[in-house]
Amino acid sequence: MRKLLLASAATVGLVGTAVAQTPPAPTEMLGIPSQPSTYLGGNNSLNSDGSPLPTSPSAPTPGTMTIHLNGRVWGYFGVQGGSSSVVNGNKVAPDQFIGYFRLYPGVDALATNGLRYGAIVEIRQNYLGQNYGLNIGNANVGATTPLAGNSTGGNYSSSASGSSCGSTLYVRREAIYLGSDQVGILRIGQDDGPFSQFDNGVTTFQFGTGAWNGDAPDNFVGSGIVTFPFWSGVGAEYVPAKVAYFSPRFAGFDFGASFAPNNGANSAAACGVAAAGCLAVSTATTNAFGGENRQTNWYEVMGRYQGNFGGLGIYGILGYSGSGHVHVWGSTPGGINGTTTAYNGFSVGDGGLALTYAGFTIGGNVLWGAYNGQVGLKPQGGVNAVAWVGGAQYAVGPLTIAASYINYQSQGAAAMINKSQSYNDELAAGITYSIAPGLNAYAEYLYGQTHQGGVSQISGATNTSSNNDWHGQSFIIGTRVQW
């Protein structure tokens, strides 16, 4: 169940006075399937829901601003194995420790006239060369020259100090919001659209650390890893700068919509200069703007229902997303004869349902239409994609047990249009135990396999009969402290 712990919150009067505040205990909506926020740490029900302010997390009173600095620190031991575990005859060590942290500074304010406003920020830790000893993909392990970046450290280095010094911080989410209980919430910036925000990992069963969108995939070696196909909590969905609207709730129903001019993140660069990462171009005479595989005028619309009937909790979502794309003159389906590959814009539907009764939750999600990979455009002439997940979860007291299965079929490699397509199968199971407020223990297991005829799942080479299949499994056990 979602528990946003704002132990560091303080209430600051807009006229300048500061008063210490003890946040109320987290509340739960009986029968509505929810979970600890595994990836939406910068968001809470104050800034992502257009309904009247809840009592938890700490809601500001009229004329005040609540300042919070939430954070999370992870620590896991992981073991993996699979098709990429032997590279050029060299076996990769199967075990490692995984640890990192995130910070979620932000503010939530309420003016005396009822205006709600604030800021959302998510700061992450980035490692340079962190997993070069494990995530080496197709590299030559026996080479005397390390991979690019290893001069600063990493698992090939005789000292981990260089790797630590290469660690940096970067901003993953940054947005402002404003609105009211009567009109809803408007958010502007680098943040989630309704496909991500409304699912919130519920109908896609991102339990524990996030299952296939969580921490256990960090164990896998290099390329060939199966794709998490859903748009919920995926950076390629929430990082593009956008405007998003979330309505108030009426009889259990609410509505969300978003618009992004292109797939670029927030940028304060001089966009008058022709820069591939800045301009929302619609056409280009060359491939200099990142090729056709960039969406433009990207929108999402989604409705949601939450209700409870005699102890049966119902959580349902249904939405559609569409876009244009950058056009490069001379592009062709599959990039025939060395030309740039032509793509279609998004035309994607998403629907999910979760039912909860007496601690048991069952449900699933289906994502279908013109897309490819992870929030990628479909190459022209390729097949439409379809991904579905079915899951079950049981929560009793501090213990939660869950499992899910994902099947994903898509075009995959554009060079294989009319020749083959990609197939993914993904199994996840996990246990979460709440040891104390803000302290959870996790154990998760993943098994996945992927196949595409004519494509090496190790190197990515096409028109080859080698390594057309990949499989792997990962297990982690550890804990997380959040505040």
In whole angstroms, what is the distance from residue 295 CA to residue 282 CA? 9
Separation of alpha carbons 373 and 376, rounded Å:
5
Residue 340 resides in a domain? yes
Query: What is the band of 130 on the pLDDT scale with cuts at 50, 70, 90?
Result: very low
Is 105 a domain residue? yes
In a domain, 72, yes or no: yes
Q: Which residues contact 309 (CB under 8 A, 6 or more apart)?
A: none
* pLDDT higher than threshold 60 for residue 38: no
Say whether pLDDT at 53 is over 60. yes
pLDDT tens-digit map of 350-382: 999 999 999 999 999 999 999 999 999 999 999
pLDDT in tens, 212-229: 998 888 888 765 578 999
| Residue 256, both tokens | 């969300």
Domain count along the chain: 1
pLDDT of residue 21: 38
Q: List the domain range (segments joined by +) for residue 248.
A: 10-127+167-268+275-482
Biggest distance spanned by C-alpha atoms of the chain: 70
Mean pLDDT of 165-178: 87
pLDDT of residue 222: 64
In DSSP notation, 368-418 reads EEE-BTTTBPPBTTSPPEEEEEEEEEEEETTEEEEEEEEEEEE---GGGTT
Q: Is residue 365 part of a domain?
A: yes
Residues 457-472: pLDDT tens digits? 887 788 888 888 888 9
Q: Which residue has the tokens 């009889």?
A: 251
Contact 208, 334 (CB under 8 A): no
Please give the pLDDT value at position 420: 92
So what's the pLDDT on residue 57?
Answer: 63
Q: What is the mean pLDDT of the chain?
A: 80
Contact assessment for residue 340 and residue 370, using Cβ atoms and an 8 Å cutoff: no
As a whole number of angstroms, the distance between CA 62 and CA 55 comes to: 14
* Residue 53 token pair: 């302010």
Does 5 reside within a domain? no
DSSP annotation of 52 reads: S
Where on the phi/psi map is residue 89: left (φ > 0), alpha (ψ -120 to 50), or beta? left
Tens digits of residue pLDDT in 235-272? 999 999 999 999 999 999 999 999 999 888 887 654 44
In a domain, 147, yes or no: no
In a domain, 132, yes or no: no
Tens of pLDDT, residue by residue over 397-446, are 999 999 999 999 999 988 899 999 999 999 999 999 999 888 899 999 99
Note the residue count of the chain.
483
pLDDT tens digits, residue range 292-321?
888 999 999 999 999 999 999 999 999 999
CATH number of 407's domain: 2.40.160.10
* Secondary structure of 294-342 in HEC code, one letter for each residue: CEEEEEEEEEEEEEEECCEEEEEEEEEEEEEECEECCCEHHHHHHCCEC
Q: Which residues pair with 245 in a beta bridge?
A: 186, 257
What token pair was written down for 12?
């600051």
Peptide bond preceding 23 in cis form (omega within 30 of 0) = no
Per-residue confidence at 163, pLDDT binned at 50, 70, 90? low
pLDDT at 2 over 60: no
Residue 400 DSSP SS3: strand
Place of tokens 């090939």: 156
Q: What is the pLDDT of residue 83?
A: 80
Q: Is 75 within the bounds of a domain? A: yes
